[in-house]
Amino acid sequence: MNEPAVAIPLEAQPRLPHGVRLVHNEAYDGWVLLAPERVFKADPIAAEIVKRCTGDATVGSIVDDLAKTYSAPRERILADVSALLRRLADSRLLEL
């Protein structure tokens, strides 16, 4: 995990693989990512990013959409999105 992070191409179309899904759970009052023998609590920002990983939308369009929806600087959104997607992909929780 010490290797420098590989950048996520803007044209990639990320999606959750089979066996990984984001669900809203009332018992936890929020979103959780269910994966093989692992459970991750997704904070609201992570949930908004993962929800957009449909396999159709490109990373670029996801970033544009989030920047518009939350009126936030595109560079900051791009940094957040790239970091999360890289982490999920390295854990085999996301396909790029």
Residues making contact with another protein (CB under 8 A) = 1, 3, 17-21, 23, 25, 27-28, 32, 34, 36-41, 89-92
Nearer to another protein, 17 or 73 (CB): 17
Question: CB of 24 within 8 A of CB of 31?
Answer: yes
- Tokens describing residue 41: 């609590």
Closer to another protein by CB, 19 or 73: give it. 19
To another protein, the closest distance from the beta carbon of 23 in angstroms equals 8
Q: How far is the CB of 4 from another protein (least distance, A)?
A: 12
Cα of 5 vs its chain's centroid, Å? 16
> Rg of the Cα trace of the chain?
13
**Which residue, 1 or 71, is less far from another protein as judged by CB?**
1
Burial of 57 (0-12, 13-18, 19+ CB in 10 A): middle
